[in-house]
Structure 1
């Protein structure tokens, strides 16, 4: 067997084995958890796992048994995957080129504004279906309860809050609310200084989860994570291109062997 066929077979056998725990995680999420937060994750995980499984089977069988049409299908999918991954990487860099926190005098944390981000990202979190799922995640995780360690206003002001904590767990500083504890604020001095002033709620299941500042904090995390993913995608693209090149060599071997076999069967050799 040609080296290119062996390499393609080994690579696809490894990805085939790796796809099984991915599918298993998706099934576990579907059967053991029933919150909106987890349901939001289960189907993408299952779909990705099944996709990797099917593509790996096509590549493994096609390379090891010299099935030319399976290798052709495998290479087609790989080519489309490379194009899509390249497009997503470029898109991720474009839509995450704006957005940063605003420093506040005397505060250890920053505040975040929805209008600082790209229009495309803003529309994603303004969509009620998307945001309801995110709110469910924040509520299910009791995300803001971690701030209980800040028992005084001085300790809270000095806190290095994450973007989501700053945007979702407290009202905007401009509103002038009086600190009771980290997630309990009363008597806004300037209730019209920011639209989020009237959105804030002391209900521990609501807080500022419906605020634009919360959406902005989530977008900051998304922007940060997408930048990481885009960097990893560049490495993945290089690997996929190498694998695709090896697969092309295996495909040529399969076609050449099929050609000689057909001719030999017809008595040309």
Structure 2
């Protein structure tokens, strides 16, 4: 039975090691996604989870293969802490991303998102002086708005415009600005349709556009919220596997102790 438990935990730790490498690779992939080249906030949580899982898996692998009880004790203790951290982080992520729906415009493929749609913590975490200056600078450097479809107004609305392009590269729809091309809009002769600061923040300067608008910040938050929701699913999958591995590890440790007692009894 001891061999079975130790062999099983060794196999499971190989699986968790693969999951750890996948989590690290996935976090790096988020940095090169074309939809959000400037959003790095998901990189750190996944790197931390992946790194911790890798260290724990290696310790468990050595402890189970060599049947070193002290190493298994350390392994189970760290694994228990990892389970608690995963549970806390998953619950926290669900709470801070629970708010935010945006307003979709039917048959136009674009949407308006406002900062009030998102939790206060998420706003403070992302839309602070340091983080937003980095994101804004990156959006300009990667020429994000060059990806928006140009042409006639009919052609513009036929294409699905991603939230980040809609929020940062065009004025909010409720402002009532007149379309000239995808990144050039003019103020109507009357005042904007809604007395919103974003309506006056819009600029036809191609490096500015609506990047300073609250709608752009809200669009960035929309992408972050969607990615963190994906992170919740990843965390739940990892948590299920880790809890199972922890249970098998407890059995392996108990079997190691029983085997040691029997061996001493024969001496």
Q: Distance in 1 between matches of 2:169 and 2:39?
A: 21
Tell me what 2:32 maps to. none
Offset at residue 40 of structure 1 (A): 7.2
Residue 79 of structure 1 aligns with which residue? 80
Partners of 2:45 and 2:233 in 1: CA distance: 21
TM-score by length of 1: 0.79
CA distance in 2, matches of 1:37, 1:64: 43
- 1:223 matched residue in structure 2: 225
Greater Cα offset, 53-62 or 126-135 = 126-135
The answer as to whether partners of 2:42 and 2:227 remain within 8 angstroms in 1 is no
Q: What's 2:5 paired with?
A: 4
Distance 2:165 2:26 in 1: 29
Paired position in structure 2 for 1:237: 239
Give structure 2 stretches of 5+ with no counterpart: 29-36
Q: Distance in 2 between matches of 1:44 and 1:231?
A: 13
Once residues 177 and 122 of structure 1 are traced to their aligned partners in structure 2, the CA distance between those partners, rounded to angstroms, is 27
How many residues get paired? Answer: 259
User: Deviations 1:219-252 (Å, cap 9, x if unpaired)?
Assistant: 2222223223323333332221111101111111
Q: Deviation string for 1:197-239 (max 9, x for gaps)?
A: 2332333333222221111112222222322332333333222
* Shift in Å, 1:67: 1.1
- Native 8 Å contact 1:20 1:49 kept in 2: yes
Q: Which residue of 1 aligns with 2:255?
A: 253
TM-superposed deviation, 1:260: 4.4
Cα–Cα, structure 1 residues 236 and 26, in superposed 2: closer, same or farther, change >3 Å? closer
CA distance in 1, matches of 2:223, 2:48: 24
Q: Counterpart in 1 of 2:143?
A: 142
1:87 deviation in Å?
1.6
Residues 174 and 193 in structure 1, CA contact (< 8 A), matched pair in contact too: no
Q: Is the 8 A contact 2:7 2:65 kept in 1?
A: yes
Residue of structure 2 in register with 1:187 after alignment: 187
Cα distance between partner residues in 1 of 2:240 and 2:39: 32
Q: For residues 30-63 of structure 1, what are the alpha-carbon distances to aligned partners after superposition, in whole Å with 9 as ceiling and x for unaligned?
A: xxxxxx9598787767655543332222111111
CA contact (8 A) 1:95 1:121 kept: yes
Aligned equivalents of 1:26 and 1:116: distance in 2? 26
Separation in structure 1 between the aligned mates of residue 39 and residue 112 of structure 2, nearest angstrom: 28
Q: CA deviation at 1:91?
A: 1.9
Aligned position for 1:155:
155
Aligned counterparts of 1:38 and 1:222: Cα–Cα separation in 2: 7
Normalising by the residue count of structure 2, what TM-score does the alignment of the two structures yield? 0.80
Asked if 1 retains the 8 angstrom alpha-carbon contact of 2:5 and 2:248, the reply is yes
- Mapping of residues 44-63 of structure 1, within 5 Å: 50-63=51-64
Point out the more displaced range, 225-234 or 235-244: 225-234
Q: Structure 1 unaligned runs (5+)?
A: 28-35
Whole-angstrom distance in 2 between the partners of 1:45 and 1:93? 16
Across the aligned residues of Structure 1 and Structure 2, the Cα RMSD in angstroms comes to 3.4
